[in-house]
Amino acid sequence: MPTTAHTNVSQIPEPPVSKFLFGSTSTSLFWLVVRLYVGWQWVEAGWEKVNNPAWMGPTAGAPIKGFLMGALAKTAGEHPSVQGWYGAFIKEFVLPNAFIFSNVVSMGELLVGIALILGIFTGIAAFFGSFMNMNYLLAGTISTNPILFFLQLFLILAWRVAGWWGLDRYVLPMLGTPWFPGNLFKKK
């Protein structure tokens, strides 16, 4: 393994397949299709919730309470679908704050979808989408969650080029990354 002279840290070179798939703009059209599909799934789910007073607004919370009570019912038995630690998290933290979580889930789904469709902060949006999918899976819901989670993991890996056909193409060079400041933060 090559080492850098000034830091003496070993670095493993990126395999050519990985470099092509996750770092080459040649694959950006493929990632655009994946990004739009996943983004649309989130926009649909979020839009439905944002426009439903049971999810957003002063009476929010009933649907999420029902969902969470169903998840708690899956914590029983010899091989439960929902692990006990996650059931405790639901019971002690999420249920007492169902109103807040109802609003956060609704807006979160919509914002993740919009960000993915626009291709802005694609890796971050995919991370938060996968975080939501993982929570739905931990709560014992399958649906499209495994597929979306899987696709979003790859969008996270392809963050450098997944938003090439989107706003990331312009925003990322301007803002940069924590380890490499963009044009906006460079001293002239």
Which amino acid belongs to residue 50?
V
The two three-digit tokens of residue 173, written as one number: 């060079």
- As a whole number of angstroms, the distance between CA 174 and CA 60 comes to 39
The two three-digit tokens of residue 131, written as one number: 């975080």
CA 182 from chain centre, in angstroms, equals: 24
The two three-digit tokens of residue 38, written as one number: 């996943």
Cβ proximity of 166 and 175 under 8 Å = no
In the structure, what pLDDT confidence band is assigned to residue 188 with cuts at 50, 70 and 90?
A: low
N- to C-terminal Cα separation, the chain: 37
Query: pTM for the whole thing?
Result: 0.89
The two three-digit tokens of residue 5, written as one number: 């002279």
Strand partners for 3: 10
In the structure, what pLDDT confidence band is assigned to residue 11 with cuts at 50, 70 and 90?
A: confident
The two three-digit tokens of residue 181, written as one number: 């400041």
* Sequence-separated contacts (24+) of 90-95 with Cβ below 8 Å: 90/139, 94/68, 95/65, 95/68
> What whole-number percentage of the chain has pLDDT above 70?
95
pLDDT of residue 2: 56
pLDDT of residue 186: 80
Using the predicted structure, report yes or no on whether residue 3 has a pLDDT greater than 70: no
Using the predicted structure, report yes or no on whether residue 82 has a pLDDT greater than 70: yes
Arithmetic mean of pLDDT, 100-125: 97
